[in-house]
Amino acid sequence: MRRALVAGNWKMHGSSASVARLLGELLQGLNSDAAQSDADIVVCPSHPHLAQAATLCADSAIAVGGQDCSAHAEGAYTGEVAPDMLSDLGCQWVIVGHSERRQYHGESDAVVAAKLAASHSAGLHTMLCVGETRAQREAGQAEEVVRHQLATALENRAVLDRLVIAYEPVWAIGTGLTATPQQAQAMHAFIRGLLREWSLDADGTRVLYGGSVKAGNAAELFAEPDIDGALVGGASLEAKQFLAIIAAAAQRAQAAN
């Protein structure tokens, strides 16, 4: 059984005060419910809040991750953050290939692959985001798009170690539209099939769903056999919502035992 994982992508939100408040509420909520230790939990604040978050989460059930990293280990890349710098701040995780990076920063599949290779070399656990736009889904190209994104990122087979894949249909991110559990399951099964086809660890690799996951729809998504947790945007900024999503993921693990 793959261990459930729930990650929060806080995007460009927060201040030191709100980070302290939100993490305080999350840590308190997790301390009062031991059952939730059945899920791995990651939060990804914006870069300026990472050190603070890592200090607040030290020795807790919450791991901290960056929302992006450079494809370079160091050098004259103004504004970039190297994967080693994330580790140095206390991060164990990083997200690469988020659709907002692809859309607003022109990150191609090749750039995402280079970032994944860099984060892997730095020893980080990486969440690799893949997913199709609405136009691509409507044109019947969803699987082809995801196949290309994954094939490029996983050309270097070594990166599968410490990798989690997040299927995030772009049309469901921050829109309130969620893929139905059946739509999500179908793509997750397709992704697992690709890993199998490429002789990679299909059964051991966690595949998260992301796209308007909330307390109200998490359990039905996690009931699907190939959905191993969620990458959560908006709802991860509210402790009550995020804790409920974690609880739904933990229950999935308990139901399987």
Interface with ligand PEP: number of residues (CB under 6 A):
13
Strands, DSSP E only, in the chain? 4-9, 39-44, 62-66, 93-96, 125-130, 163-167, 207-209, 229-232
Q: Does 216 bind ligand PEP (CB under 6 A)?
A: no
State the DSSP code for 72: S
Show contacts with ligand PEP in window 149-208 (CB under 6 A): 168, 173-174
130 near ligand PEP, judged by CB under 6 A: no
Of 47, 49, 98, 188, which one is the catalytic site residue? Answer: 98
Residue nearest ligand PEP, Cβ-based: 233
Q: Which of 5, 6, 9, 194 binds ligand PEP (CB under 6 A)?
A: 9
Sign of CA dihedral 71, 73, 76, 81: positive
Binding to ligand PEP (CB under 6 A) within 21-80 occurs at none
**Which is nearer to ligand PEP, 19 or 235 (by Cβ)?**
235
Q: What angle do CA 175, 180, 182 make, to 5 degrees?
A: 150
CB within 8 Å of 20: residues ≥ 6 apart: 52, 56
Find the catalytic residue in 100, 107, 168, 224: 168
Q: Binding of ligand PEP at residue 212 (CB under 6 A)?
A: yes
Least distance (Å) between residue 34 CB and ligand PEP: 27
Residue 162: what are its φ and ψ, rounded to 5°? 70, 25
Among 97, 131, 229, 234, binds ligand PEP (CB under 6 A): 234
Burial group, residue 247, by CB count within 10 angstroms (0-12, 13-18, 19+): buried
Considering Cα of 141, then 165, then 156, then 94, what sign does the dihedral take?
A: positive
Binder of ligand PEP out of 6, 231, 243, 246 (CB under 6 A): 231
Structure tokens, 135: 């136009």
DSSP structure string for 40-54: EEEEE--GGGHHHHH
**Sole binder of ligand PEP in the list 210, 224, 246, 249 (CB under 6 A):** 210
Rounded Cα–Cα distance for residues 66 and 86 (Å): 7
- Of positions 5, 19, 232, 243, contacts ligand PEP by CB under 6 A: 232
> Least distance in Å: CB of 75 to ligand PEP?
29
Binding residues among 75-114 for ligand PEP as defined by CB under 6 A: none
Query: Is 168 known to be catalytic?
Result: yes
Please pick, from the candidates 14, 97, 131, 233, the single residue that binds ligand PEP as defined by CB under 6 A: 233
Structural contact between residues 64 and 45, judged by C-beta atoms closer than 8 angstroms? yes
Which residues of this chain interact with ligand PEP, rule CB under 6 A?
A: 9, 168, 173-174, 210-213, 231-235
Q: Hey, which residues are catalytic here?
A: 98, 168
